[in-house]
Amino acid sequence: MDAWPLRHLVLRTPRLELRPDDDSGLVELIDVALAGVHDPAEMPFYVPWTDTLPDDRGLGLLQHFWGQRAKFAANDWVISFIVRHEGRAIGVQDVGARDFGVLREVNTGSWLGKEFQGNGFGTEMRVAVLQFAFDHLGAHIARSAAWQGNHASNRVSAKLGYVHDGTIGAAPRGERLEHVRLRLDEANFVRPEWKVAVDGLAECVQLITR
């Protein structure tokens, strides 16, 4: 048996390729993040990790992904896909779950380098992991979240069929903001004409669905 079968997993969309993070890919991501992810005057993330980038030059980013890999377990996992366009890393698309075999729910999150935003990549990569979760893993519900003022993320969610599922207060920079929780039932998923291609799932499916 392969000790880390996730290394064989790959998702492909019409324009993108998504593979679970590895150390060489994380080095690419540091460069993408340092080039800018969002307007510095705003904080789109629940955890304000981009605020530390200028000081630690990406060390915190590396430690975050290393930590996720170290904690990976069948009943509590996150797969962080490095998203590439034409071979170049452009961002990250997460999908994760707890007690998936019982709950059949996943959570998603993502970010894109600023220079790659506005091209529909954010929608395409989210659709990729939603199809992966619903059609290949057997999920019934997908959850996500975004700040009320994050109009780009909320537009993507709305056109894919998500509905609001309450809010929670948070203060990533010491000031209260409303984090909007979002829910997508499989039956309400607004699908595109294309289907994600999935390779390498047989090697790791038992690890993530039991």
- Between β-strands 10-12 and 141-147, what pairing exists: parallel, antiparallel or unpaired? unpaired
Q: Which residues contact 116 (CB under 8 A, 6 or more apart)?
A: 85, 90, 91
Which of the pair, 155 or 23, is modelled with greater confidence?
Answer: 23
pLDDT digits over 54-105, tens only? 788 889 889 989 999 999 998 999 999 999 999 999 999 999 999 999 999 9
CATH class of the structural domain 7-209: alpha beta
Which of the pair, 115 or 176, is modelled with greater confidence?
Answer: 115
Residue type, 141: I
Amino acid 8: pLDDT: 93
User: Which candidate, 142, 145, 135, 5, places its Cα nearest to that of 72?
Assistant: 5
- Between β-strands 177-185 and 197-199, what pairing exists: parallel, antiparallel or unpaired? unpaired
Domain boundaries, the chain: 7-209
As a whole number, the mean pLDDT across the chain is 89
Q: Is the separation of the CB atoms in 122 and 157 below 8 Å?
A: no
At residue 83, the 3 state secondary structure works out as strand
Contacts 24+ apart (CB under 8 A), 69-78: 69/21, 74/101, 74/207, 74/208, 74/210, 75/99, 75/100, 75/101, 77/207, 77/208
Average pLDDT over residues 169-189: 82
Amino acid 188: pLDDT: 97
Phi, psi of 161 (to 5 degrees): 105, 5
Amino acid 3: pLDDT: 86
